[in-house]
Amino acid sequence: MAALLNLILTFSLLTIANSLSLNYYHKTCPDAESIVAKAVKAAKAVDKTVPAAILRMHFHDCFIRGCDASVLLNSKGNNKAEKDGPPNVSLHAFYVIDNAKKAIESACPGIVSCADILAIAARDAVFLSGGPSWDVPKGRKDGRKSKASETIQLPAPTFNISQLQKSFSQRGLSIEDLVALSGGHSLGFSHCSSFNSRIHNFDATHDIDPSLNPSFASKLKSICPLKNQAKNAGTTLDPSSTTFDNTYYKLILQGKSIFSSDQALVDTPKTKNLVSKFATSQDAFYKSFVKSMIKMSSINNGQEVRKDCRVVN
Ligand code: HEM
Ligand SMILES: *[C@@H]1O[C@H](CO)[C@@H](O)[C@H](O)[C@H]1NC(C)=O
Ligand SMILES: *[C@@H]1O[C@H](CO)[C@@H](O)[C@H](O)[C@H]1NC(C)=O
């Protein structure tokens, strides 16, 4: 039964119903991309956490129902949407996509999907953080469903390497894609709740996850004490958390990554080789990241071009 469900999930996620192209809006909305870039840049100037938020938002969008802007829909009536599901702790900056959409609707109404706006914004988020740029294939359609209960399909920070591999392969993504896309953790922040299990009562014999560097673990424990933990307490995923670079991979090799799912990337020879390669060569990381982002962001199965990114037409 579980196998059958997996097969169905895999099949439906792999269906790329809308074929994408680089010049999709060339005639119908030539300024679409510059309008999005402007919105992301303006928001970043006020709040430096915006690029990380946008990149994560796009990842969550793509992993549930494909990149169809399901992550942007608001809860309505009895339906609790993805953004109100449990792994939402740090999803924020939805207003940036709203601002871009508003500006685009006044330039070319009813043409550009919210899913495309989010994919373009994610590219801009990386580039504006000093990372690589790339041409985003466009032509995604927006979906009409968003369910909080489906957010359990996202990989968890406690996942081991086989669970991560499975989660990615269900979406047509390879081991190389897993290691390269995890480099998204070069940007941003995590709440203590996402890594508490590594630093308190880890298992029957260890209080602290033995794969953690001991002095780094003590630092995390002081930020996230077992008792009276502040709701917003946490740490950056990388000390250079507003610069998109390969520091993330160097930290993994030192036992200084935040999540078990990050550290797990050294648990097979193949993934470990990729981590070492990306730690040594930022250029190799950028090349792989771009390739894998285009692959992840091409999963799409939507039906319409929403007028308002928060509600279906
Ligand atoms: C491989 C499986 C992944 C797992 C288990 C995972 C898990 C997480 C968790 C638990 C957080 C912190 C949430 C919080 O406590 O606030 C986080 C943050 C983040 N993730 Fe991932 N993630 C994964 C893959 C990705 C991918 C593929 C990307 C993008 C390419 C990405 C981009 C980000 C970013 C940018 C943040 C910081 C968000 C912010 O500061 O607002 N993650 N991730
Ligand atoms: C996150 O989800 C919880 C329920 O799981 C909800 O109470 C909370 O308002 C949501 N937070 C955000 C920022 O959407
Ligand atoms: C990963 O976790 C799953 C589920 O807990 C378990 O069945 C599997 O044996 C684990 N794999 C590794 C490599 O630790």
Instruction: Decide whether any atom of ligand 3 lies within 6 Å of the 170 Cβ.
Output: no
Which of 57, 61, 25, 19 shows the shortest CA–CA distance to 40?
Answer: 57
Query: What ligand 1 atom has the least distance to the C-alpha of 193?
Result: 15
* Residues recorded for the chain: 313
pLDDT over threshold 50, residue 310: yes
Residue 2, pLDDT above cutoff 70:
no
pLDDT in tens, 285-297: 999 999 999 999 9
Angle between helices 94-107 and 50-63 (to 10 degrees): 80
Q: What is the pLDDT of residue 174?
A: 98
Instruction: Kindly list the domain boundaries of the chain, sorted by start residue.
Output: 13-154, 161-293
Nearest to 135 by CA among 313, 298, 253: 298
- pLDDT-derived band at 19, boundaries 50, 70, 90: confident
Mean pLDDT of 240-256: 98
- The CATH homologous superfamily to which domain 161-293 belongs is Peroxidase, domain 2 (1.10.420.10)
Predicted confidence at residue 90, as pLDDT, reads 77
Contact 304, 312 (CB under 8 A): yes
- Residues whose CB is less than 8 angstroms from the CB of residue 216 and which lie 6 or more positions away in sequence, other chains included: 254, 255, 256
Which of 173, 175, 185 to mutate to test ligand 1, by most ligand atoms within 8 A of the CB atom? 185
Please state, in angstroms and rounded to a whole number, the distance separating the CA atoms of residues 291 and 303: 26
| Residues tagged active-site | 60
pLDDT band at 17 (very low <50, low <70, confident <90, very high): low
The structure tokens listed for 242 are 């507003």
Q: Which positions ≥6 away from 136 have C-beta within 8 Å?
A: 22, 33, 116, 119, 120, 123, 294, 297
**Please, which pLDDT band fits residue 1 given cuts at 50, 70 and 90?**
very low
- Cα 88 to middle of ligand 2, angstroms: 6
Q: Are 261 and 185 in contact (CB under 8 A)?
A: no
Residue 208 CB contacts under 8 Å (≥ 6 apart), including other chains: 198, 199, 202, 214, 217, 221
**Buried b / exposed e across 285-299, counting CB within 10 Å, b at 16+?**
bbebbbebbbbbbbb
Residue 82 labeled ligand binder: yes
Annotated binding residue 238: yes
CATH of domain 13-154: 1.10.520.10
Identical fold between 13-154 and 161-293: no
Cα dihedral 45, 311, 80, 77, rounded to 10, equals 130
Structure tokens at 249: 């991979």
For residue 10, name the pLDDT band (cuts at 50, 70, 90): very low
Which of 136, 62, 101 lies closest to 306, judged by CA?
A: 101
Whole-prediction pTM = 0.94
Question: For residues 282 and 182, is the Cβ–Cβ distance under 8 A?
Answer: no
161 lines ligand 3 (CB under 6 A): yes
